[in-house]
Chain A
Amino acid sequence: MSELSTPAQPPAGGSSKDSALEAVIGLEIHVQLATATKMFCGCELSFGEPPNTRTCPVCLGLPGSLPVANAKAIHFGLMIGLALGSELAPRSIFHRKNYFYPDLPKGYQISQYDEPLCLGGQLGDVRIHRVHLEEDAAKLIHLGASGRIHGSDASIVDFNRGGTPLAEIVTEPDLRSAEQAGVWLKLLRSTLRQLGVSDVNMEEGSLRCDANISLRPSGTSELGTKTELKNMNSFRFIERGIRAEIARQQKLIAEGGQVVQETLHFDPRPGAHPPITSLRSKEEAHDYRYFPEPDLLPVKIDDQMRSAAAAAMSELPADRAARLRAEHALSAESAELLGFRGELGDFFEAALAAGSEPPPPPQALANWLTGEVLARLGDGQDPAESQLSPPALATLVGMVAAKQVSVGAARQVLERLIAEGGEPQAIVAAEGLAAMDGGDELAGIVAAALAANADAATRVREGNAKAIGPIVGAVMRETKGRADGTEVSRLIHEQLGI
């Protein structure tokens, strides 16, 4: 799974070696926090309820209503800060960010400004600039062909989402390619999921990502003029959007033009021309007139809040990967996959802990889990949700290692375990799938196969190694896969006298 190891110095723009320009990318990620209630009122969070049913005077911005900060959201924010190695602020203080838009019922968003909850930090090979808390905007639906506010027939507002707690995570501009951004974002997602602070689902909007993108001559350190790219609401679109913007900037510069600082919109539709359009220029940028939110008093982040956040942390993906690698001598690739995908790590550790006999070698167990099992379940599926139990997989892998069952037979057993569950030994016994020893029975089957495939036998004897395939296949058919492939191959060579 090479997609999970971030390349240290990938080529610019993903367009390989020809360019003398390198891309510099920073991400701004909005994460909806999985609190019970909204950021500043008691409304429950909404998951597809009918529009405007999860609202109250506060999140509708009705006259006279006042916000009260959600303590759980601050707790989650502190957990994120600890996970990212950030410095936690001595106090939680909110500011108002003032601008007019129909999805913002108060005419300002309550956010954090010069004192974010978490400052600095690092995840993987990307430094964190800051993490702050704020409230989500409501959802605008534009009726009409364009789907955007300009030229729409009418716009309607669903305030269910308005006021949902958000953590905004801002990275330093440490990413160099679209692919690297995608890989790193997956690490962030698995970290947040492991913390349990968010559903981190891009399609449902609980994880949203904007990218700041600029180009500069490779090897220089000064930053070029950046653009901010919005509306990339899946991992695929993030990589495609960043690639498209890098290409746009490269073309602009190649034609002697200059990148201007602006906010851009990415249109992921396949035929979109152009895929990237301007939302607003730097000159049109808002003056947000930030000032401390007078309706909320600053709250001191005391030792109790800090230790509560620390106590709520489970082992983080990067830490788990390192531990699994050290404890079980796993390959880096396997350890990362098991660490970053918590459900795989859980299954792996449960299988090892089952104490099955003969014991499965950990690397083989990891390979079976991340290879054979995932291939049958489909990528992204949780093996715990199939009929396969961790002890059963451990037993099966142990039997393969002890040559009690061939790899081919074990695959058949695995199919049954995933579909129906059960015990590997019982299935092997019932189906007669136990490995054949290298005795006379197998030698006889090999001899018959050689006789039936005389042409192939001749070619093998003449040095064509590939010709052995049909002969092995015949043996396997005859033995229903119980034969050990290595032993079959040895017997063929022996009987052919080569």
Chain B
Amino acid sequence: MSDVLELTALAAAAALADGSLSREELFETYRARAAADRAAGEQGLNCFTWVAEHAPEGPAISGPLAGLPLAVKDLFCTEGVPSQSGSRILEGYLPPYTATAVARMQAAGAGLLAKTNQDEFAMGSSNENSAYGPVRNPWDRGRVPGGSSGGSAAAVAAGLAPWALGTDTGGSIRQPAALCGIVGLKPTYGAVSRYGMIAFASSLDQAGTLTRDVADAALALGQMTGRDACDATSLEFPHAIELPSAERLDGIRLGVPEELTGEGIEAGVLECFGAALARAEELGARIEPVKLAHAPHALSAYYVIAPAEASSNLARFDGVRYGMRAEHAEELVEMYTRTRHDGFGAEVKRRIMLGTYALSSGYYDAYYGRAQRVRTKIAEDFRGAFAEVDFILTPTAPTVAFELGEKTGDPLAMYLNDYCTVPMSLAGIPAISIPCGLSRGLPVGLQIAGPAFSENRLLDTAHAFELALAFDGSAARV
């Protein structure tokens, strides 16, 4: 049994293929562990909002991922399986269809293992905003796993799922991956269809992966990319995703932006980051300073754009057709008001109000319009930087995992978690977080960002780092 847990998804697929591992054993091993965590409730990590009762049935399951169990963030719609986006307002909601990203993984043979806990509507950086309780960090159960894909990150780190899908709007894959010591990939905006992802901020939301290693990220991404007729913003990926193989970084130019690697970053995190840069030079890379002049404004722009889109995206949760409806309301507006009052958590309501205000007549130009102009500047900064370097490196998060409750009373401190990840989201470019060491016994993430559609080169570079850094995440396994 423990041997099975040592396998990455890619290795498990190989073991299934050569017959040394059975699909039943693989699925049941993870299913039992996930079910146990769910049954443990508060005593467990609380990674899951739903766990499969048995392996998917069907004689014809085939494809490169055949037999691999997959955990999926709650906000992906899965037909007939609760999809609640971490919210009370969608409690028990069973979608009639499956999100494209999940459907493509299933078409490649992966089986739905579990739905993972998350911050409500993906709004949060600690997974404490879930209506279904906080997720705990397997490295230290008194600490948060990061968010919003906290359940996915903790489940993979703890060995409760071989890999998981998440979504990243401003850092929601990368930051929890960093805090849990695993690999988190946010692809180029449009690379993976958003159809069936319960929307937070449409122009930023992007599906991606939380995996044990870089090769698994490539394996999953390769099944999900490509234009989807159901998502007008999805794009045909210009080439096939390949498994990474690079071991050296000879001739690779790595840019380090002063704006995202100085003030506000914890000393222990900077120390690990510096060590990773030193390893890169040993592998043949050239480290160069780059300028991202507008990056310090990214968080402000993000907290206008994302709430503005969210205020509109979340309008559909009105109690009329599905999900929760307040009882005993006498008339329409009362029903709307009470349903949304009772159904949404505090952070969601805060962002709906922020966004509603930012879009209001008379304020649009000052807030939304201006934020979009900042966004354009940030994208231009990246284009300029990528004319000089191949990739940009930053710490993924300014701190290691913090304690449960430590930042819940201070939204701004919580928002600062995404300081280093939000600029890439606004620019729509791919970025990956890989573990690069421990500080105070907790994982630190290294973020590598590249130009749009540079995923193959990005994964190769991350792979070379991964080999050289040789991070050992087994301490988190439960």
Contact = CB atoms under 8 A, between A and B. Distances in A.
Given A107-B312, A107-B315, A63 B95 contact: yes
Interface in B64-97: 75-77, 83, 85, 90, 93, 95-97
Contact of B361 (A57, A96, A102, A289): A289
A295 B199 CA distance: 10
Contact of A63 (B85, B202, B332, B368): B85
Interface string A288-326: 011100111100000000000000000000000000000
Contacts of A485: none
A109 to B, nearest CB: 11
A98 interface: yes
A143 interface: no
B99 A294 contact: no
B312 A96 contact: yes
Interface stretch (A14-22, A66-74, A391-399, A455-463): A66-74
Interface residues of A, number: 30
A107 B321 CA distance: 12
Contacts of A106: 315-316
Contacts of A100: 315, 318, 336
A68 B315 contact: no
Contact of A98 (B318, B322, B359, B368): B359
Contacts of A96: 312
Query: Interface of chain B, helix or strand or loop or mixed?
Result: loop
A62 B322 contact: yes
Given A63-B85, A102-B332, A287 B360 contact: yes
A289 B356 contact: yes
A194 B442 CA distance: 72
Interface stretch (B34-42, B227-235, B289-297): B227-235
Contact of A105 (B96, B194, B321, B368): B321
A291 B97 CA distance: 28
A420 B196 CA distance: 61
Contacts of A98: 311-312, 315, 359
Given A61-B321, A63-B93, A64-B99, A105 B316 contact: yes
A297 B322 CA distance: 28
B465 interface: no
Contact of A57 (B85, B96, B312): B96
Contact of A295 (B202, B332, B356): B202
B368 A291 contact: yes
Interface string A27-64: 00000000000000000000000000000011011111
B353 interface: no
Contacts of B29: none
A62 B315 contact: no
A201 B395 CA distance: 63
Interface in A61-118: 61-69, 96, 98, 100, 102, 105-108
A157 interface: yes
A196 B363 CA distance: 42
Interface string B229-265: 1111100000000000000000000000000000000
Given A108-B312, A296-B232, A65 B195 contact: yes
A64 B364 contact: no
A257 B230 CA distance: 55
Interface string B185-201: 00000000011111101
A149 interface: yes
B196 A64 contact: yes
Contacts of B439: none
B320 A102 contact: yes
A294 B202 contact: yes
Given A63-B198, A69-B232, A105 B312 contact: no
A460 B389 CA distance: 112
A68 B232 contact: yes
Given A106-B316, A291-B364, A63 B90 contact: yes
B309 interface: yes
Given A100-B336, A287-B361, A67 B232 contact: yes
A106 B311 CA distance: 11
A100 B320 CA distance: 11
B190 to A, nearest CB: 9
A105 B312 CA distance: 12
Interface in A141-168: 149, 157
Q: Which of the listed residues A69, A106, A157, A291 has the most CB atoms from chain B within 10 Å of its own CB?
A: A291
Contact of B83 (A61, A63, A102, A157): A63
A106 B196 CA distance: 14
Contacts of B195: 64-66
Contacts of A289: 311-312, 356, 359-361, 364
Given A58-B230, A295-B233, 20 more contacts: A57-B95, A57-B97, A61-B321, A62-B77, A63-B85, A63-B316, A63-B322, A64-B198, A66-B230, A102-B320, A105-B321, A106-B315, A107-B318, A108-B312, A157-B321, A289-B356, A289-B359, A290-B364, A294-B202, A297-B232
16 contacts: A62-B77, A62-B95, A63-B198, A63-B316, A64-B75, A64-B196, A96-B312, A100-B318, A105-B316, A287-B361, A289-B360, A289-B364, A290-B359, A291-B364, A295-B233, A297-B233
Task: Give me the 10 closest cross-chain CB pairs, A-B, nearest first.
Answer: A107-B315, A289-B359, A294-B202, A294-B203, A64-B196, A63-B198, A64-B77, A287-B361, A61-B316, A68-B232
